[in-house]
């Protein structure tokens, strides 16, 4: 299996790391990866839109006037769509967009997303990201050493206060723990920066 350079926060090589071929060396499965992305996007939808139809509004339990002899048009209910306070005709209703995927497919999709990052050279391993300050400027300087230009996903083994504070004002940076990584965030990132300890946790969880 291919090796990756382990860098420090200055962008300098510290050592090599051998990637687990069962996780990062597989042939990506595009179909399963697509299903996982669809699952994440669908399950994120609130699906709360909806209006009241004529059976949902109150009132209208009786015929407003008799069928014939009044000179007016026949009416069956005061809650028909053309009446004031009537129900909405053919209105939108809330629906369930939830999609399911079994455990093995979810794991395969995650492996496929990670494998694509290796193939496209969009994965960087760092020895540690324990920053000394909580200043956004210092974090921007660290990311500049890795030539970060667009969206970046940072994966660490454990969050610390300085790291959270230093990254929260950076719009193009998403910070996650190793047990929180998911397919949608991986494919959305142009670059993934992973701590060495977090890399081991990912491999142990997916092997």
CA-closest candidate to residue 133, choices 112, 102, 160: 160
Question: What phi-psi label fits residue 160: left (phi over 0), alpha (psi between -120 and 50 degrees) or beta?
Answer: beta
Q: Model confidence at 1, in pLDDT bands (50, 70, 90)?
A: low
Backbone angles phi, psi at 161, to 5 degrees: -60, -45
Answer positive or negative: Cα dihedral of 156, 162, 165, 170. Answer: negative
pLDDT in tens, 128-141: 888 888 999 999 98
- What tokens does 167 get? 């990254």
**pTM of the entire predicted model:** 0.80
How are the residues of the chain apportioned to helix, strand and coil, as percentages rounded to the nearest 5?
A: 35, 15, 50
Q: What is the mean pLDDT of residues 14-43?
A: 93
For the segment 42-83, what is each residue's pLDDT rounded down to a tens digit? 999 888 888 999 989 998 888 999 999 999 999 999 999 999
Which letter, b or e, does each residue of 128-143 get, where b requires 16 or more Cβ atoms within 10 Å of its Cβ? ebebeebeeeebeebb
State residue 87's pLDDT score: 93
pLDDT tens-digit map of 101-155 = 999 999 999 999 999 999 999 999 999 888 888 999 999 988 988 888 789 999 9
Scan for tokens 């081991």, then name that residue: 200
Task: State the pLDDT at residue 47.
Answer: 82
Domains (range + CATH), the chain: 3-44+101-206 (3.40.1370.10), 50-93 (no CATH)
């Amino acid at each position: 299996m291919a090796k990756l350079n382990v860098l420090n926060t200055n962008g300098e090589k510290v050592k090599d790391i051998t990637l687990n071929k069962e996780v990062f060396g597989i042939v990506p499965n595009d179909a399963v990866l697509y299903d996982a992305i669809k699952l994440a996007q669908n399950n994120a939808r609130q699906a709360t839109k909806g209006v009241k139809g004529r059976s949902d509004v109150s009132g209208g339990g009786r015929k407003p006037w008799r069928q014939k002899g009044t000179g007016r048009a026949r009416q069956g209910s005061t809650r028909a769509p053309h009446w004031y306070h009537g129900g909405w005709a053919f209105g939108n209703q809330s629906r369930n967009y939830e999609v399911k995927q079994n455990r093995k497919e979810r794991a395969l999709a995650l492996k496929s997303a990670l494998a694509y990052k290796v193939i496209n050279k969009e994965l960087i391993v760092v020895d540690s990201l324990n920053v000394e300050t909580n200043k956004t400027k210092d974090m921007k300087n660290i990311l500049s050493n890795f030539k970060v230009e667009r969206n970046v996903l940072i994966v660490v083994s454990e969050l610390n206060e300085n790291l959270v504070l230093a990254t929260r004002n950076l719009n193009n940076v998403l910070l996650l723990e190793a047990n929180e990584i998911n397919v949608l965030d991986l494919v959305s990132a142009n670059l993934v920066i992973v701590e060495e300890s977090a890399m081991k946790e990912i491999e142990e969880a997916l092997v």
